[in-house]
């Protein structure tokens, strides 16, 4: 019998951002991360992470700690680290929603499970499908020269998809994409552009912007152009343009993924591991997408090394996650990482090499808790 969970701790660690991070939903200069620690009867410690923003998810690091301390931690005590189906059933029974809090617990349990068996997490959830993961780099809303310089630098580092945050001013967004196009042209490399409006457009503006920009072929996809609940609007946009439509905020769990697929409003799902309930739930959503003929990418809520490692293991073991992934985003935005080896040190030529150590294969810097 595998070891059982005997204690669950959650810590909050605040990490400054190198510069202001701005999207259509909010702007921030720092990020609070909730780190969940699961301790087993064998003394093994597993770690999970969530770093939700209130504007995006309706959760914060502080609510994650509160929910984990009062509800989720007690619910999983005594369970075996491999009993993920029972664990999620229990977590859903004690409190509705709070998918970021559940993600942190789920990731920590997977880490402990892998360490118990001396196996990487990817071996527990399907086996390794790919050795390295193609990445997209995200450029936030910023001034022209900064956007151009950042895109050019990351193109030179080997990123072949540049994701651009838009959604505030359509005319400005078109101009910004033209700047990124110039960076691509100046680099003389084959690079695609992904737009992410974070729900910022209305339907007519989204159609107009996409149609204006898609004629020259650089657009890889457009992510969440309108409100997350506007399935009809998403479907209307998808039918009016040639560029694939990706959804993110629309999907917080299995039911939302199924509704979106039934409503034919997306070509791609941005599957955020720390948003939808963790690794266990992510694999289920990926299976639904695969059955529907929809591809996936894994995105970021600005998690650092622990959350990034969880995303890496899901991407490594899941064939339908075939798009470029931007789950590395937080590693480039913060002043430091939560792990002894920073996540961005695992990136080369725009790809992340899959680590093969037990559990998540990373080491949490415990000194950050004492600080």
Q: Active-site positions?
A: 165, 272
The beta-strand segments (E) located in 23-171 are 27-40, 45-50, 132-134, 136-139, 161-165
Contact 116, 44 (CB under 8 A): yes
Contact 348, 364 (CB under 8 A): no
Instruction: Please spell the DSSP secondary structure of 184-206, one letter per residue.
Output: HHHHTS--EEEEE-TT---HHHH
47 backbone dihedrals φ, ψ, rounded to 5°: -125, 140
CA dist 78 → 25, 40, 71, 73 (Å) = 40, 9, 14, 10
What is the rounded CA–CA span in Å between residue 157 and residue 325?
16
Strand partners, 221: 194
Helix axes 305-317, 279-292, angle to 10 degrees: 40
Contact 129, 312 (CB under 8 A): no
Per the structure block, which two tokens stand in for 298? 């894994």
The SS3 of residue 95 is coil
DSSP code at position 357: S
CA neighbours closer than 13 Å in the CB half-sphere of residue 43: 0
What is the rounded CA–CA span in Å between residue 349 and residue 174?
28
Q: Which region holds residue 250: left if phi is over 0, alpha if psi is between -120 and 50, else beta?
A: alpha
What is the rounded CA–CA span in Å between residue 301 and residue 307?
9
Question: H or E stretch including 121?
Answer: helix 121-124
């Amino acid at each position: 019998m595998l070891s059982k969970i005997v204690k669950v701790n959650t810590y909050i660690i605040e990490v400054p951002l190198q510069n202001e991070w701005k999207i259509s939903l909010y702007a921030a200069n720092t990020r609070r991360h909730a780190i969940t620690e699961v301790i087993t009867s064998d003394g093994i410690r597993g770690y999970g992470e969530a770093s939700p923003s209130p504007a995006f998810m309706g959760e914060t690091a502080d609510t994650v700690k509160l929910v984990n301390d009062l509800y989720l931690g007690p619910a999983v005590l005594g369970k075996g680290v491999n009993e993920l189906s029972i664990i999620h059933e229990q977590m859903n029974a004690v409190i509705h929603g709070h998918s970021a809090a559940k993600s942190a617990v789920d990731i920590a349990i997977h880490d402990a499970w892998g360490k118990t068996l001396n196996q990487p997490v990817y071996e527990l959830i399907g086996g390794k499908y790919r050795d390295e993961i193609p990445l997209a780099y995200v450029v936030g809303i910023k001034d022209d020269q900064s956007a151009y310089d950042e895109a050019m630098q990351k193109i030179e580092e080997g990123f072949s998809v540049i994701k651009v945050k838009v959604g505030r001013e359509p005319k400005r967004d078109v101009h910004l994409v033209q700047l990124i196009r110039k960076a691509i042209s100046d680099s003389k490399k084959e690079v695609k552009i992904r737009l992410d409006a974070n729900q910022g457009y209305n339907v007519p503006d989204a159609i107009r912007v996409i149609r204006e920009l898609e004629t020259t072929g650089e657009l890889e996809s457009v992510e969440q152009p309108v409100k997350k609940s506007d399935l009809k609007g998403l479907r209307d946009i998808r039918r009016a343009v040639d560029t694939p439509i990706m959804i993110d905020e629309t999907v917080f769990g299995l039911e939302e993924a199924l509704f979106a697929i039934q409503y034919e409003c997306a070509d791609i799902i941005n599957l955020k591991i720390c948003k939808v309930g963790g690794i266990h739930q992510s694999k289920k959503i990926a299976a639904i997408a695969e059955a529907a003929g929809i591809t996936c990418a894994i995105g970021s809520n600005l998690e650092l090394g622990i959350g990034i490692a969880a995303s890496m293991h899901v991407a490594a073991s899941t064939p339908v996650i075939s798009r470029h992934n931007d789950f590395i985003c937080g590693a480039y935005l913060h002043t430091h990482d939560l792990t002894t080896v920073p996540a961005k040190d695992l990136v080369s030529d725009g790809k992340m090499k899959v680590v093969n150590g037990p559990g998540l294969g990373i080491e949490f810097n415990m000194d950050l808790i004492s600080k």
